[in-house]
Amino acid sequence: MPDMLEKIQVKPCPEFHDHSDRYTRTAPAPGPPEEEHVSHPTLARVLRLLSLLQARRFWPGHELAERLGTSERTLRRDIDQLRELGYRVTAERGYHGGYSLEAGANLPPLLLDDDELVVLAVGLRTVAARAVEHTDETALSALAKLEQLLPARLRRRVSALQSHTLPVGPGPSSSTAPEMIARLALASRDSERVRFGYTQATGTRTTCFVEPHCLISAEQGWYLVARDPHEESWEAFRVNRIDSYVATGERFSPHELDTRCATEIANAAAARFARRHVGLLRIHAPLETLRSRFGAWVQDARAESSTTTLLPISADNLPELVFGIAWIPEDYPYEILESPELAAFARSLGSRLLHAASRHER
């Protein structure tokens, strides 16, 4: 019997292990993982993430996570879910890294086919280019969101259809390029520096490097109000005179400029393009004094001496030119140096006004 026991090998059952003289059952071997289901809080957060990415071109990772109230690790998982849905979300590494939603992505939430998307883009471009009253800002906002994600193949279709569509009815600037408006609106929204060629009212062509602030619809069309980072000054550029546009990808911290000031800068720029009649004034005040009081309206003025300033003016007709002079306060004496036609019209109008006023002295 002992010999037989020595030949018997006792093999423990693979499902049991000896632990302190007692047997415990082990867990079964892991099988295929169960399908994960996105919870309602996660789905809501991912949709919120998509909304934020569409609202701005670039988001720093830590700021995006803070807005969502989650960790950066969870943010990366949510970004991966958007990518699985077809959205092209790119990531920039490093201390200033973050995320951006790139062009070429589909738009599943809208459920639009290609033809519907093309028609929508053409309509928004037309409304934005013609600056329809009470709709220009809304059209710009919607157009900026759509242009950010418009695939290249559909962009070509939109441009082709737009170039062969003739708008009917009044509009301030039918020659303004809708695609340029969309690009500038995106750069303004995303605080991205841009470079472009520009033809001034005098016909001189320059290259500009600016920080776009907003687009203003003035009487003569659309104007880009932007800040020159080198001169640290505000300027306005007529959109249909911009070419060779380049979005540099350089971001900047926006500077404060209220709507009233932006509108004044755009209106002053628009006045420089009304050049059927031009004039030149000598104002008896230092240039810096005039600039501090009148801002963009004397942007083209130049110092003649320490006490006098030369101010070029322009308008579509002589009456408008004289009305433009009338805004100069009484404590700033001035003289009309050019043109002879302007001086003659001012003398004639002045004589008529004096004659009309003399009736009350009798």
Q: Mean pLDDT in the chain?
A: 76
Please give the Cα distance from 29 to 38 (Å, whole number): 26
Express as a percent the part of the chain with pLDDT over 70.
73
Instruction: Write the CATH number of the domain with boundaries 40-101.
Output: 1.10.10.10
72 vs 134, more confident: 72
Spatial distance between the Cα atoms of 294 and 225, rounded to a whole number of angstroms: 17
In this predicted structure, the answer to whether residue 75 has a pLDDT above a threshold of 60 is yes
Classify domain 274-359 by CATH number: 3.30.70.250
Ranges 16-30, 114-128, 153-167, 207-221: which has the least confidence: 16-30
pLDDT band at 175 (very low <50, low <70, confident <90, very high): low
Residue 131: C-alpha distances to residues 67, 108, 170, 171, 220 (Å): 34, 29, 10, 7, 11
Contact indicator for 100, 58 with CB cutoff of 8 Å: yes
CA geometry: angle 110, 111, 113, nearest 5 deg:
115
Indicate the domain borders of the chain: 40-101, 109-258, 274-359
Q: Measure the CA–CA gap between 196 and 207, rounded to whole angstroms.
A: 6
Q: Model confidence over 249-300: pLDDT tens digits?
A: 899 999 988 888 888 888 888 877 766 677 889 999 999 988 888 877 787 7
Q: Is the pLDDT of residue 137 over 70?
A: no
pLDDT at 5: 39
* Residue 147 reports pLDDT greater than 80: no
Question: What is the per-residue pLDDT across 177-229, written as a single tens digit (0 to 9) for each?
Answer: 667 877 888 888 889 999 999 988 777 899 999 999 988 877 667 889 999 99
pLDDT at 95 over 80: no
**Most confident stretch, 23-37, 43-57, 119-133, 264-278:** 43-57
Side by side, the strands of the sheet bearing 242-251 are 233-238, 221-228, 205-218, 192-199, 242-251
Q: What is the pLDDT of residue 184?
A: 86
Conformational region of residue 316, where left means phi above 0, alpha means psi within -120 to 50, and beta covers everything else? alpha
pLDDT at residue 331 in the model: 87
What pLDDT sits at residue 195?
Answer: 96
Reading phi first (left if > 0) and then psi (alpha if -120 to 50, else beta), residue 131 is in left
**CB 178 within 8 Å of CB 129:** yes
